């Protein structure tokens, strides 16, 4: 014990740096675990959609029309607070919030949970992650089918 006290006295900055690093690791892990409660991977989103989840796309209408998840509803993040009352009919269903990179959706998840929605999740990584995983997207433009020649 005397050697520990002597080491601490001789290396105050080193011990202080070790303690700060320890608390930063603890804080980061607690924060990560708290965000895992609201963020889910793309594979889990697919499972939620298959179990009647509603996808809310928080991006602008322009970004939404360039590509979105099938059956997603477009509610831009700045309009979410005003449209929460209109979402009461889906309160019992799981809800997946999607944004561009996964940051805005975390805020929206917290807003919806405060409003009483219990099963609300955000897509970790947002549409960037969804597209990079090769998941299907629907564009706002209607596609024309070509007639086959006989």
User: Model's pTM, two decimal places?
Assistant: 0.67
Residues paired with residue 122 on neighbouring β-strands, in sequence order: 39, 97
Q: How many CA atoms does the CB half-sphere of 13 hold within 13 Å? A: 0
- How would you write the pLDDT of the chain (150 residues) with one tens digit per residue? 889 899 989 999 999 999 999 999 888 777 766 655 678 888 888 888 888 889 999 998 888 888 898 888 899 888 888 888 888 888 888 899 998 888 888 888 888 888 888 888 888 888 988 888 888 888 865 433 334 444
Rounded distance between C-alpha atoms, residue 81 and residue 119, angstroms: 18
CA distance 51 to 31: 28
Q: How many CB atoms lie within 10 A of CB 125?
A: 21
Predicted pLDDT at 82: 87
Rounded distance between C-alpha atoms, residue 87 and residue 12, angstroms = 56
Residues 6+ apart with CB under 8 A from 27: none
pLDDT number for residue 148: 41
Give pLDDT, residue 147.
Answer: 42
pLDDT of residue 32: 64
From first CA to last CA, the distance across the chain in angstroms is: 91
Q: What Cα–Cα distance (Å) separates residue 107 from each residue in 40, 54, 63?
A: 14, 17, 19
The pLDDT of residue 23: 92
């Amino acid at each position: 014990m005397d050697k520990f006290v002597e080491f601490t006295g001789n290396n105050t900055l080193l011990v202080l740096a070790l303690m700060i690093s320890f608390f930063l690791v603890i804080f980061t892990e607690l924060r990560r675990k708290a965000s895992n409660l609201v963020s889910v991977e793309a594979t889990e989103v697919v499972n939620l959609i298959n179990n009647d989840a509603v996808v809310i796309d928080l991006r602008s209408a322009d970004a939404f029309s360039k590509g979105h998840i099938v059956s997603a509803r477009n509610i831009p993040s700045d309009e979410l607070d005003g449209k929460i009352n209109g979402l009461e009919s889906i309160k019992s269903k799981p809800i997946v919030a999607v944004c561009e990179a996964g940051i805005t959706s975390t805020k929206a998840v917290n807003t919806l949970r405060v409003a009483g929605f219990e099963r609300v999740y955000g897509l970790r990584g947002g549409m960037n992650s969804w597209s990079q995983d090769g998941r299907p997207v629907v564009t706002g433009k209607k596609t024309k089918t070509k007639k086959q020649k006989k």
